[in-house]
Amino acid sequence: MTIPVLPEPAFPDLESMLSRKFGRETANYFSGSPLNRVSFLRTDNSFLSAALKHPTTSFLVFHNLNPLAKDPSSLEYVSYADVQPLIGEDPYSKSEDQLISEYSSTVTIPQLLFLGLDERNQQGLTYSIYTGSPFFALDVTPKGTIQSQAESLVQSLQSRGLKFLEGRIQAALPAQDAAIYAQARALLDWNARNPFCAQCGQPTMSINGGMKRTCPPKDMASLAGAIGGTVGAAPTERPDCATRKGISNLCFPRTDPTVIMAVVSSDGRKVLIGRQKRWPPYWYSTLAGFVEPAESVEEAVRREVWEESGVKLGRVVIHSTQPWPYPANLMIGAVAQCIPGGEEIVLKHDPELEDARWAEMEEVKEALRVGTSALGESAQEGYKEGNLRLPAGTAIANQLLTAVANGFAGEAPKI
């Protein structure tokens, strides 16, 4: 698989005090979206209605969280005319308050997301002071009362020779398309995972362009149970729900912070790497783990490294971050250094790793040159079987290892 070029950071050539002190910013795969999310317009149904039907609008459709594409490296965007039979003439013709008052749990509403405006196209929609081509995402998975319409749309798209890319991770897309895909997939997955209110168990509905869910106070259907089936009936008042009071009246998408770290030895000459049992032979990566409640990033780095490898860390520095839409993680990349005498590897605490070891910098540099790939893919030409394998450049682990191999932890660290 050809590894795509990574996104450019914002203002890559701008000189500033921060760039002189810390070096050039690192932008990781799945970041670098070209879209302005204009999040403050998500509650404006007039804006969403205009954006929906504009001739420059693009829709990225998903089936079971798999995006529509021509091939693994080319997403396919469709038009309003394509999706109109599923979403209806205009799902934003009414205000959110009206839609909430008319909510019926017997009706399946197609999950539609507003992603943002591509302001590079000044021939796009102009609304107030904002101009750009609108982008939406749509779940076309057949379900509920829209099953027939969704099936027809899926068949129509497939008849054009298009396909929905299967597989857990899509890492062959151009960087900007990958960022749009990541935003859409994470939000569609979050909406699909939260059909019921966490407080009262009643069905919820998507609002704010797909960025929030609310627990309506009334239902046009009477419920047999919080998770049971429904039958049509006159509007019924729902039981009181804490989410409708105070400031916690909505459910927001979640992002789970995860730390991932390149750990260098106390003398700066070696890097700590580990592997899981399910990985291919000779394949290693950096260590990683979830941040726990009431824990700083630095504390999480030290805890995870000690739990998985027994190695004790001193200073921790944040290097860069990577959105990871599987399902909704933010990978917080760090570089950390072992304290003197803390380099002994002990795997008896947490059995997550099959092996952990210290690799010399030259071995890491050689692996970065010819031994990288996506998990299970072949290495580059020049790789010798039995040598170290590392993640591809689309993984933040690769960027962290590249940074330390290039002297990030040296006398004059540069990001």
* pLDDT of amino acid 384: 95
* pLDDT of amino acid 2: 77
Per-residue b or e along 301-316, where b marks 16 or more CB atoms closer than 10 Å to that residue's CB: bbbbbbebbbbbbeeb
* pLDDT of amino acid 249: 63
Phi, psi of 82 (to 5 degrees): -70, -40
Query: In the chain, which residues have pLDDT < 70?
Result: 1, 222-234, 248-249, 409-415
As a whole number of angstroms, the distance between CA 355 and CA 346 comes to 10
Task: List, for residues 382-401, the tens digit of each pLDDT value.
Answer: 999 999 999 999 999 999 99
* pLDDT of amino acid 271: 98
By the 8 A CB rule, do 26 and 415 touch?
A: yes
As a whole number of angstroms, the distance between CA 393 and CA 399 comes to 7
* pLDDT of amino acid 411: 54
> CA neighbours within 13 Å on the CB side: how many for 129?
0
Q: To 10 degrees, what angle do helices 147-158 and 80-87 make? A: 160
Q: Which long-range contacts (CB under 8 A, 24 or more apart) does 121-129 make?
A: 121/56, 123/56, 124/54, 124/56, 125/50, 125/51, 125/54, 125/56, 125/57, 127/41, 127/47, 127/50, 127/51
User: Which distant-in-sequence residues (6+ apart) come within 8 Å of 141 by Cβ?
Assistant: 62, 63, 64, 150
* pLDDT of amino acid 234: 65
The amino acid occupying position 16 is: S
Task: List, for residues 167-225, the tens digit of each pLDDT value.
Answer: 878 999 999 999 999 999 999 999 999 999 988 999 999 999 999 999 999 998 865 54
295 class by beta-carbon count within 10 Å (0-12 exposed, 13-18 middle, 19+ buried): middle
